[in-house]
Structure 1
Amino acid sequence: MSSDLFAIEVNNVSKCYQVYDNPLKRLKEIIIPKKQQREGKVERLYHDEFWALQDVSFRLKKGETVGIVGKNGSGKSTLLQIIAGTLTPTTGSVKIAGRVAALLELGAGFNNDFTGRENIYLNAVLLGLSKAEIDEKIDDIISFADIGHFIDSPVRSYSSGMLVRLAFAIQAQIEPEILIVDEALAVGDARFQAKCFARLKQLKERGTSILFVSHATEQIVTHCDSAILINDGVMLMQDSPRVIVNKYLDLLFGKTDKKIEVKEETESSIEQHRAEGHLQDISNNLFAFEDGLSFEQRPNYNPSEYRWGDLKAEIVDYQLIQDGKHYPLVIESEHAIHLQFYIKFKDAVYRPIFGIALKTKEGVTIYNTNSEYQDIDMSRQFNAGDIMHASFSMPVNLASGDYFISVGIASCDEGGAVVPHDRRYDSIHLSVVNRVQFIGLVNLDTHISLK
């Protein structure tokens, strides 16, 4: 049953490495325990254990694309190598249903003394193709790689870009049932990347299951059906790409404890402040708008926002205006919107950073900026009770559809690490109507002239 539904099943996989301080200890562990065994003594170990992966489990459906994200050193590459069969797990098991093609490291599987053409035959044979099948596909592989006369040169003379072109061309053109890609496409230029993603789309439409590792969050959101977040060898969660990317950014720029669910921590912190009466007190008493409403009661507010931070500074209200109308339910394209945010400081914060982002409903970032990018001088300290107003105007040259605005207030600690105070992802919903006909996300107001 499972083999009919899933291309990959990873069950409680862990990987432990033995780490030695020096080569002498490695030699001692080879020799001395045998002597101690003969003498009936308890064996002494001379190594430390490093668990690169701990109890990881997930399943990849046939025809699905799953992204894997995590900080450097989190165990992503180790996991992919175990799935590809180049590493053996310490515990757990992996079930594979189909032929696997893996693009893990530049030049992996290549013989440096062979030409590119010879390496095509070598790699394809290892993947289970016959010579006749390779002969049938080799022209397509060479055309896709597009490395010119270098195809008949030894690969030791190839640049990193040429290596990845040839490696991807081999793996993708043989139409594997499972394709594993580990950051390799980051080496290629923009045109080659576009060609690669078009090919991945074709493979997916033909039923190939794809595991895709990338630090480029937009690629994860755009190309994956779901995503997995790994940190310090532990799989934290699997969810939609948009949710996972938000959690990944939190790990990069905020909380780092792998055992704490960020969302639970955030909700708990905010609920505590609500219980203390802070939010209601702020919305009722502090602002120019005397309607008694708060951020969460505005018409454009998205109740499914993702919010967290230490709340030393808090984004407590906002105003949205277009053409003199407050909080319009429909945003007319080609007309600017004006937004003003109100931030209340609960504690001392030096040099706050205010940021804003506009995303599609799928989570693709259209625009992102902050006060640091715009060289706004905020080199001063705000204290408890201080208020900051953040205002901006933005042209809405967008296609018809749904968009979300994210806002955040943060600062940096003494070590330069970003400390989030209040992050409100996808907190304001914009329903845009554009009466100009074009295809895409943004109207670039292109004028065509024909003679």
Structure 2
Amino acid sequence: MSGYPVAIRVGNLSKAYPVYSGPLDLALDLLSRKRDRQLQWALKNVSFEVSRGEVIGVVGRNGAGKSTLLKILAGTLDRTEGEVEVRGRISAILELGTGFHGEYTGRRNIFMGGMCLGMSKAEVRKKLDWIIDFSELGPFIDRPFKTYSSGMQQRLTFAVATSVEPEILIIDEALSVGDVLFQEKCSARIREIAGGGATVILVSHALQSIYDLCDTAMLLSEGRLVEKDVPRKIGYAYERLLAEEKARRPVSVSLKGGPWSGNGTAQVIDIAFIDRSGSPVSTLAHGENYEVRCRCRIGRDFSGLSLGYRIQKPSGQIVYGTSTQTQGLSITGRTGETIEARFSFPCMLNHGAYVLGAGVAEVFAGGHFHVLHYLRDHAFEVAGAAAFQGDVDLRSAVTNVLKCTEERPAADSGRA
């Protein structure tokens, strides 16, 4: 969000923890203050900026440094090296029930938590009804916090943290706890806060939450910032990271029309929509039939392969995907072959912009697979959709309309 004032600036941020083999090493270190101790770096040379009003997602594997970064930004953890500049009042949800006392009632914890966030007792009292209503804990609000389920604790934590109208809201996996309806309620509240001009930093393992809520995103791995970009491209990078860790080998990625630097095993060389005349098209008409053609070049022999495609919105949200493996088709490949998979595609998508991608994976006995190559970002549009809500037209039609009158009891005949 260039052109907006900077709310957070981080420069070469690093955080290290000393590693001790036992209590004796810890005691010797405290006494001698030696500086040659072994260090475990949770963050290393991380630099980025967040604009005022920006909603940024942070993704990465467990241990990537996400929670450490948020704690430093929130001021609850000291940095080892680097600079951190935060401009604005912060409200943070870092861990389940952070700052709440298990023996205190929910009501008392509201006052304690609100005052920790900078509100006066009178301000908390004004917001009390809203907090209780949002958390949906009215019948339980005077019970001890420790008797709440994890979902109930998260409800109260989120309600208190978002009641202060923060300038910067930091959320660490708050949307992963609770039922679906409350998760959507939290998402709506985050949008409301962001719409008011606040900066939001959201950590989540759920890419769909990042796609739905965030303007930008960044990927952390082993304490380092891998990439910062629009959510869809960070989703690509995260999926590639997971695929490489699963396969324990590099996974190549190329963009539609761009150069490819593969690993010599298999690569998707083209993905396209084909119309009735056999021509590739980038604008599809709603209700028309097309074919998705996915072509793959084989660099060595394979006893099992799968080719597939996926359609996403520009934000990254997945609309649809399928593959030969999903549809129960077994494919083999030999060195030098080119394989073309054709999928029927009746275009039932709503009008708008979309992105088409494809992938090829090696399939093993038992059905598990390792991705070999992704082809990304083939942009296309859909025009002329009929009136319906959502992304896909399921062709639901009105079959009948009935008018019913309430049956009335038969008139009394007057018999005894």
TM-score by length of 2: 0.87
Call closer, same or farther: CA 1:309–1:212 in 2, change over 3 Å: farther
- Which residue matches 1:425? 376
Measured after TM superposition, the shift of residue 18 of structure 1 is: 0.7
Matches of 1:110 and 1:425 in 2, distance apart?
45
Residue-by-residue CA offset, 1:150-175 (whole Å, 9 max, x unaligned): 11111111111111111111111221
SS for the counterpart of 2:242 is helix
- Which residue matches 2:221? 231
- Equivalent in 331, 348, 372 of residue 284 of structure 2: 331
Letter in 1 for 2:381: S
Tell me, which stretches of 5 or more residues in structure 2 are unaligned? 404-416
- Which residue matches 2:52? 62
Tell me, which stretches of 5 or more residues in structure 1 are unaligned? 35-42, 257-261, 268-295, 297-301
Call closer, same or farther: CA 1:433–1:183 in 2, change over 3 Å: same
- Equivalent in 356, 371, 384 of residue 309 of structure 2: 356
- Equivalent in 399, 406, 420 of residue 350 of structure 2: 399
Call closer, same or farther: CA 1:306–1:128 in 2, change over 3 Å: farther
Matches of 1:390 and 1:240 in 2, distance apart?
30
Q: Report the more deviating stretch, 235-244 or 201-210.
A: 235-244
Measured after TM superposition, the shift of residue 362 of structure 1 is: 2.7
- Which residue matches 2:201? 211
How large is the RMSD of aligned CA atoms in angstroms?
A: 2.7
Measured after TM superposition, the shift of residue 432 of structure 1 is: 1.3
Contact residue 16 and residue 41 of structure 2 kept, 8 A:
yes
- Which residue matches 1:14? 14
Call closer, same or farther: CA 1:255–1:308 in 2, change over 3 Å: farther
Residue-by-residue CA offset, 1:385-417 (whole Å, 9 max, x unaligned): 234331211221111122222111022689x99
Matches of 2:30 and 2:317 in 1, distance apart?
53
Letter in 2 for 1:5: P
Measured after TM superposition, the shift of residue 251 of structure 1 is: 0.9
Matches of 1:30 and 1:22 in 2, distance apart?
13
Measured after TM superposition, the shift of residue 318 of structure 1 is: 5.2
Measured after TM superposition, the shift of residue 356 of structure 1 is: 1.2
- Equivalent in 345, 358, 362 of residue 411 of structure 1: 362
Call closer, same or farther: CA 1:439–1:29 in 2, change over 3 Å: same
Residue-by-residue CA offset, 1:235-284 (whole Å, 9 max, x unaligned): 1222111221111111111279xxxxx99x857xxxxxxxxxxxxxxxxx
Measured after TM superposition, the shift of residue 115 of structure 1 is: 0.8
Measured after TM superposition, the shift of residue 344 of structure 1 is: 2.4
Is it true that 1:434 corresponds to 2:357 in the alignment? no
Identity between Structure 1 and Structure 2 (%): 36
Q: How does 1:371-390 map to 2 (within 5 A)?
A: 371-378=324-331, 382-390=333-341
Count residues in correspondence. Answer: 395
Call closer, same or farther: CA 1:317–1:131 in 2, change over 3 Å: closer
Contact residue 401 and residue 431 of structure 1 kept, 8 A:
yes
- Which residue matches 2:239? 249
- Which residue matches 2:5? 5
Matches of 1:126 and 1:71 in 2, distance apart?
31
SS for the counterpart of 2:141 is helix
Measured after TM superposition, the shift of residue 309 of structure 1 is: 4.3
Letter in 2 for 1:23: P
Measured after TM superposition, the shift of residue 320 of structure 1 is: 3.5
TM-score by length of 1: 0.80
